[in-house]
Chains A and B, each alone.
Chain A
Amino acid sequence: MEDYQEQEYEFLRRLEEDKIDRGKLLKRGLAAGAGLSIFSLSDVALATRQRVLQEPPLLGRSVSVAELIAEAKKEGRLNVIALPRNWANYGEVLDTFTRKYKIPITSDNPDGSSAQENQAVRSLKGDPRAPDVLDVGPSFAIDGANEGLYAKHFTRNFKKVPRVMKDGRGFWVADYYGAISFGVNTAVVSNVPRSFQDLLKPEYKNKVALNGSPLTSGSAVAGVFAAALANGGSLNDIGPGIDFFAKLKDVGNFIPIAANPQTIASGQTAITFDWDYLNLAYVKEFPSARIRVIAPSDGLYAAYYCQAINATAPHPWAARLWQEFLYSDQGQLLWIKGYSHTALYDDLAKRKAIPKALLNTLPKYSKAPKFASRAQLTAARAKIATDWPKRVGS
């Protein structure tokens, strides 16, 4: 990008973040003015502008919606990765995008993990099948940004996203979050557990399962965190969570199988730990299981996932259109329909943009759920790596 453009964008960005004082404002205003007056000579401006449009913009606002859609349509496709259709209503999100902009989407490896998404960016660099956009866990988003896997982009609504949920440099933005909940198959279990303490009762023998091993699945780690919060631990100490699962295994209530839709529908895993937006989706998907979703009363842990654009995306304009769509009201409401709390939820609620019926389906939190920071996650993982196989494994 041209130097003056870099300065202009940097100026606008810092202005948003109120990091700029009057003196600097005036100086930069003069510089921008000088640059703009020279380059606004018509034919120079036209040539520059045309050259600029070859590359997608840094700021979503700097091109019009029509231009963005036109350039995206020229690319003709969007590659996404690791987006299961029933995860926070992604199925409808994908279909709506394709229907609205007539851009077909290739959805690869729907059950991939965040690590696999970052690896796909590395391994498939330069391949037309490489993923354009990613939805990864926060520590992978941070790693990917540091490694240079992502492109910088500020969507139109970037500044409305809470500070803690985005990367200031523009490499990633949080998309949605949910809290760890119990998904209870009431066709098998008549007395619904309400807290982690309840789970230790003998009536739940051979009924409780995680959705994977915390040695490999981020959401399973979240389950252990929630258990830690409920048993005297904290975000800095996940040990009590590991102890809880060891105890659950000793009394015979815990079955070491990874819960999946089949085991849930069949009733083999009658009580499962998972994100509330997933468990709530299962209620409709498996009517025979009469699932009830319970937010544990003694430990509420939440985490968000992050959107990012591949730095070497084969379809960069379509990728940016995708992000604009996701952070528009339409996209946000589709995610909310998937029972998740989105990044722009507070803004939408304030503007009363969420229909009452939809608002009532969302999980209500009696107290604020806790989120772990990068440092706390790293420490927790290290502890799980050493303690979990010993205490809970065999």
Chain B
Amino acid sequence: MAVVAQLVERWLVVPDVAGSSPVGRPNSRHGRDTGTSGSLSPVLDEDARASLDMPWLLIVWNDPINLMNYVVHVFRSYFGYSREEAERLMLLVHHEGHAVVASGPREEMERHAQAMHDYGLQATIAKDAP
């Protein structure tokens, strides 16, 4: 059985470079207009409104099994990201240990998480970035 080791680029160890760059975050964090904020505003203070507006985050974590090109492929084919964006997110996962790859309503993030688990990626949902 021929093994061409150089073809196989495992998703390798990465030195700890925490804090060297911010986690990427899709830009829908603020300003989602649900059309209902006006009716809520009289009873909610600023903090409560900010909390309601805050989307949920889908986070993909580094793992020792998945191949780099497979992760790029999943980000491209499932989320429809450009190759550049998919590679940027994959490298964030690779270098930082995780990346926020989507944000939005909780139900939507749960669907995405299920899809990521289907692809074999380690994905979690949270309110705040790790």
Partners in one complex: no
